[in-house]
A and B are shown apart, each in its own frame.
Chain A
Amino acid sequence: MRYYLRKLGFFVLTLWAVVTINFLIPRVQPGDPAEIMVQRLAGKNAQLDQAQVQAMRDLLGTPTGSLGSQYVQYLGQLLRGDLGLSYNYYPFEVTRVIGQAFWWTVVLVTVVQVLSFVVGILLGAFAAWKRNGRFDTTVTLVSTFLGTLQPFWIALLLIYGLGYSLGWFATSGGYEQSTPGFNGAFLYDAVSHAFLPALTLMIVTPIGWILGMRNTMIMNLSEDYIKLAKAKGLPDRVVALRYAARNALLPSVTGFALALGGVLGGTILVETVFDYPGLGRLMGEAVGLKDYPLLQALMLLTAVATLVANLVADLLYGVLDPRVRRSQA
C-alpha cells in the first residue's frame, strides 16, 4: 500500500510543479503578448497606441494584478478546464482547437506504438536468443545506425522518394477529397495520408524496444531458472518465449505506457514536415504564429499525459512485479 501512496504522492507533487512551471514560463520572459499582437497588426515601425494595447488586453483576457492573484486565478481557470482563447483561431477556445487535432495524433501514434512495440519486442528477443549470430549483428548494427537519424530528415527523404518521385502516397495533410466521417472513402483517404508519417515513425520507434529487450533478455538468459528449464529438456521455443521473454518483458511494459504518454514530443517535427493535422503540427503552428495560449495548453497537455502514463506504468509495475513494491516501500 505504501508503494502506491508514494507513487500517487509523487504524481500530485509533479503535477503541481508542471502546472506552476507552465504558469511561470510566459511571466519570466520579456514582452507583452498584447503589445506583440498590436505591433503585428500595426506593422513593424508603427507607434504603439496604448489604447489599442489596452483594448487588445481586454480582448485576449490578459490577466492583471499581482503575481500571486494571477496564480490563483490561473489555477481556478485550469480547474474549470478553461485554457483561454486561441490568438490564431480567435474567438475559439484553445480546448476546442486542440479537440479537433487530438484524434489525428492519438490514432496515428497508438497504431505506430503498438506495431513498434510488437515488432521491437520480437526482434529484440530473437536477437538475444541468437546472440552474436548473423541476425543479431545485423539487427544491432542497423538499429544503432537508424537511431542516429533525425526523424524529420527521414520524413523529407520519404516525401522525396515515395511521394514525389514514385507518387505512391500523399505527402501532406490528413485527407483530401472526402468529408470527414465514418465512411469508406474518408477512411481510405485518411489512411493513405497517414501512411508516410506512420512509416517515418516506424523506422525510428522500434529501435528502443529492440535494444532494450535484447539487453534484458540476454541478462535473463544467464539466470539459473533458464538453465533449469533447459536441463528439464523443455523445447527451445518454450524456454525462449514462456520463460526468458516473458520475464524480460516486464521493464518494457512501463516503457510502453511512457511512450504512449510522450506522444506529442515525438511527432511535433514529423507532423510539421507532413503538414499532418494533429497536435504536433498544431504546436509547430502555434510557435510560428506566436499563439501563446495554444502553445501553453499543448505543453501542459503533453506533460500531464506523460505524468498520467508514468503513474499508470508505476502502479501497473507494482502489480506485475511484487519485488518492486517491496524494495521501494
Chain B
Amino acid sequence: MYAYDDFDADFVRARVAEFREQVNRRIDGSLTEDEFKPLRLKNGLYLQLHAYMLRVAIPYGTLNSRQMRQLAMIAERWDKGYGHFTTRQNVQFNWPKLKDVPDILDALADVEMHAIQTSGNCIRNVTADHFAGAAADEIEDPRPTAELLRQWSTDHPEFQYLPRKFKIAITGSPNDRAVTKAHDIGLRMVRNEAGEPGYEVIVGGGLGRTPMIGKTVRDFLPKADLLPYLEAILRVYNLAGRRDNKYKARIKILVHETGTEEIRAMIEEAFAEQKALFQAPPADLVARIEAAFAPPDFDNTQSLAFDRAQADDPVFRSFVETNVTEHRNPAYGIVSVSLKPVGGTPGDATADQMRVLADLAERYGHDELRVSHEQNIILPHVRKADIPAVHAELKKAGLATANIGLISDIIACPGMDYCALATARSIPIAQEIATHFDALKLERDIGPMKIKISGCINACGHHHVGHIGILGLDKAGVENYQITLGGDSTETATIGERTGPGFAAEDLIPAIEAIVETYLDLRHTADETFLDAYRRLGARPFKDAIYHEHRDNARAA
C-alpha cells in the first residue's frame, strides 16, 4: 500500500481547510451557488436528485482495512449507513449534508483519502486492474504506474481546465480487466522483444452518447517516457479538443475527427518537444512507490483445508467456482466478494458489511482490499487454507453470493433513483433481472454473462460494453429501455449493437429472457459462451426472438 508522505498529507489537509472556508462562505451568503458549484465539484460534492452526493476517490481501487473502516464510520455518522461502490472504483455517499462535508473530508484525510478530482474537467481517479499484484496472468503490477500518475495528475496546473473530464485506466495483464479500450487513455503493460517493460498506449476510447473503442497510438512506449508522452497527449487534447460543444469535447471525438494517423503525429511531435524539457521523476520517488507495492510476505504453508471444504460443502464449492480466481502464488486465491445479492442494489455495502470486509482483509488478506469496476470488492491475497473461513464469515454478513461473472453480477449505475442526469431507473431493472433468473435457476447453465445497465446516455453503467446492455430513456414521460447485444469490455473490446425499438419496463424482463433462451437453444455446446454464440450467430435470431414475441409491446425508439 502506498502511504502519504508529508507533502501528500499537507496538501490534502490544506484542501480540506480551503473547502471548509468555501462551505462557510456559501452558507453565510458570501458565495452564490454559481460561484460555489465549481468549488464543490472540485471536491467531489454533487447535488443529486434527492440530496448531496460525495464521491470519494479510491486510487486504482486499492484500500486497506483502516480506510474501509473509516468509510463505514462515515456512512453511519454522516450518511444513511451504507456506501455505493462505483464503476470508476470510487465510493459514493448519497446523503451527506452540506455543513458536514468538511468534517467528512477531514475524516478521510485521517486515513489518507480524499475526494479531489473526482469531478470536474480534469484527470479523474486513475483506475487499474482490480487483481493487480495478485493475478496469475500479470506481466507486471500496474499500481506503481497508477500511483505515479495519481501524483503527476493531482492539481497538475496545465490540466485543471481540460475541454472535458479525462479518464485513464491501466492493466498489467494481457487479459484486460480494466476496460482500457473504453478510456480516454488506456495503458496496457507489455514487454518488447528485448523483454523490457513498457506500455501499449490506447487513446480516444469512451462510452457515453458516442461510444468509441480507443486507438493504439504506440505499440510500445518505454516506461521512462510515460509522463512526457502522457503530457504530450494531454497537451494536444487541451489545445485541439473542442470546447464549443460539451457533447463533442472528449478526446475520442478529437481522435475520430482528426484521424488516428494525424493524431498520432501530433502526439509524437508534442512528445519530442516535451521529452527534451521533461525531468524524469526522481529515482528515489519511483523506488519509494515501487517498494510500497512490493508483494506481501506470502505464507506458503500447504494445507488440505481448501480441497477438503470443496469436497464436503457444495455451497463452498459453488462459491469457489465463481468467486475465487487463480493467484500468482499457488497457495493463494483471489476472492471476489459480490456486492450483488439477488434483489439488492449493485455496488452497495452497509457499514457493518464494510467492517466485515475490513476485518477479513486484516485477518486473512494481508490488509488489502480492492474495489472492482464491476462494483464488487476483492480480497486479493487470501491463503487457500483460509478461504473456507472467509466464506463462512461472508455468509454471516450476507456477502457470500456466488455469482461473479454470471447473469446477476450486473453493473448498474444509480439511475434515476439518485442521479440528477438520469432519464430512467437502473437499479430496479437490475433487481428484477437478478430475481427473475434466480427463480429460473438458469444462472449457472447460462454461464459467463455481463449485463450492464445505464439510466441515461452518459453510460456510467457501461451498457455499450455489456454482453447485454440496457439503456434507460424517457419516452414521452415513460421509462423505456433499449437493448444492445454483443458488447465486450475486455482486450477484445466491442461496442454492442442496438437491437431496435426499446421496451417498457414491464416488457423488458421477458425480452431478456427471450434473448437468453435463444442463446441456450442455439449454442453449439454448453461451453460456448453467450458472447461467442452472438459473434457466431449475429443479431438476427435474437432480434427475431424479442420482436416476434414482443412486437406489439416494443416502443418506437
A joins B in a complex? no
Q: Which residues of A contact B (CB under 8 A)?
A: none
